[in-house]
């Protein structure tokens, strides 16, 4: 697991969560949430004036939305802490990489927190 000193970004995946619900969660975590650009499935936001965020709906199949904070300056120390925050707020299933990403590594092992708050490791994207 990365430490706050080495984390470069945070990326999580939410299952069956509407953009409006993601935005409500963001508004509960940040002072300001501004839309920089918004398309059909890709939405670029700026949080607190300087934290870039990209949301990609249907990023993995039709059910999963990618939420990518392109900055180490978030309220969370790592992807899992961020995922727990969203799950607690919205009661949805959230996934994140099981380990920090390294160039050339297999990315099939993922950590998830379920709708009921249970945590486990899964093989993905092949696992539902």
Predicted confidence at residue 83, as pLDDT, reads: 97
pLDDT at 126 > cutoff 90: no
| Alpha carbon of residue 6 to chain centroid | 18
The residue extents of the domains of the chain are 10-98+109-123
Read off the pLDDT of each residue in 77-93 and give the average, rounded to a whole number: 97
Q: What is the pLDDT of residues 41-83, one digit of tens each?
A: 999 999 999 999 999 999 988 999 999 999 989 999 999 999 9
- What is the assigned CATH class of domain 10-98+109-123? alpha beta
Is pTM beyond 0.85 here? yes
Nearest to 69 by CA among 52, 88, 89: 52
Residues in the chain: 128
| Peptide bond preceding 125 in cis form (omega within 30 of 0) | yes
In Å, what is the CA distance from 119 to each residue of 2, 18, 66, 100, 114?
Answer: 18, 22, 19, 17, 7
Q: Is the confidence at residue 89, as pLDDT, over 50?
A: yes
Q: Are 8 and 14 in contact (CB under 8 A)?
A: no
């Amino acid at each position: 697991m990365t430490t706050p000193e080495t984390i470069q970004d945070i990326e999580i995946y939410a299952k069956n969560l509407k953009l409006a619900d993601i935005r409500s969660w963001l508004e509960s975590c940040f002072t300001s949430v501004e839309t920089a650009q918004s398309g059909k499935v890709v939405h670029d936001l700026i949080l607190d004036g300087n934290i870039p965020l990209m949301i990609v709906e249907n990023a993995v199949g039709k059910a999963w939305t990618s939420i990518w904070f392109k900055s180490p300056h978030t309220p969370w120390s790592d992807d899992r802490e961020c995922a727990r925050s969203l799950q607690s707020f919205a009661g949805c299933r959230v996934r994140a990489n099981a380990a920090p990403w390294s160039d050339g590594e297999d990315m099939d092992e993922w950590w998830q927190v379920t709708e009921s708050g249970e945590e486990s490791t899964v093989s993905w994207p092949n696992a539902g």
